[in-house]
Amino acid sequence: MLQDSLTINKLIVLYMLNRVNFTMTAAQVSDFILEKDYMDFLTFRQVLSELTESKMITQKTIRNRTKLSITEEGRSTLGFFENRISEAIKADINNFFREKEYSLRNELSIAGDYYKSTSGEYEAHLTATDRGIRLVDITLSVPAEAIASDICDNWQKKNQEIYQFLVQQLF
């Protein structure tokens, strides 16, 4: 019974990731799953680990955000076993995306990361995309890691204001 439950949990995650055409963060997926009480947090982490080990999903972590994507192997597996997910769960997932797809996509369209360059400076790389089109791509070179980190954090909070300012100043 426990193994069957774990299988259903994996299928739920695969179904969610297959339902969208953008990457989702682990936090976005877990928020839905925990809110609906489909599994607890430890089970969710186990599911992600096992799906990654079996190459059904990929995980990429950038600045404390783990992005999840379904692989072709995951899609194939879901195709064989999707009928094991109840219609009620599918309806919950579909309603979730109907209500929140725009905000989920928007949350991921803003990215900021930093790294130490060969010159010893830190470079903060900031991007904003919309439907696959890159709207902004800025790299700022700064002397300290803390500054680069703050720039990335503030980009997440103030990207719309900064974008509007740039457009007003440049056009």
SS3 string of the chain? CHHHHHHHHHHHHHHHHHHCCCCEEHHHHHHHHHHCCCCCHHHHHHHHHHHHHCCCEEEEEECCEEEEEECHHHHHHHHHHHHHCCHHHHHHHHHHHHHHHHHHHHHHHEEEEEEECCCCCEEEEEEEEECCEEEEEEEEEECCHHHHHHHHHHHHHHHHHHHHHHHHHHC
Number of folded domains that form the chain: 2
What is the tens place of the pLDDT at every residue in 91-146?
A: 999 999 888 877 777 666 788 889 999 999 999 999 888 767 888 999 999 999 99
44 lies in the same domain as 10? yes
pLDDT of res. 1? 42
33 lies in the same domain as 87? yes
Q: What is the CA radius of gyration of the chain?
A: 19
In the predicted model, what is the mean pLDDT of residues 5-21? 93
90 lies in the same domain as 119? no
104 lies in the same domain as 55? yes
72 lies in the same domain as 143? no
pLDDT of res. 3? 57
77 lies in the same domain as 117? no
> Which residue has better confidence, 82 or 157?
82
DSSP β-bridge partners for residue 65: 62
pLDDT of res. 150? 93
> Which residue has better confidence, 38 or 171?
38
The residue among 108, 123, 149 that closes a domain is 108
What is the tens place of the pLDDT at every residue in 35-87?
A: 999 999 999 999 999 999 999 999 988 767 788 999 999 999 999 999 999 99
Range of the domain at 19: 2-108
pLDDT of res. 113? 87
103 lies in the same domain as 120? no
21 lies in the same domain as 10? yes
| Closest to 138 measured CA to CA, from 161, 114, 120 | 114
Provide the pLDDT confidence category of residue 21 given band limits of 50, 70 and 90: confident
22 lies in the same domain as 53? yes
Give me 31's structure tokens.
């928020």
70 lies in the same domain as 153? no
Task: Give the CATH number for residue 87.
Answer: 1.10.10.10
In the predicted model, what is the mean pLDDT of residues 138-166? 91
The residue among 81, 108, 135 that closes a domain is 108
- φ, ψ for residue 137 (rounded to 5)? -145, 100
Is the pTM higher than 0.95?
A: no
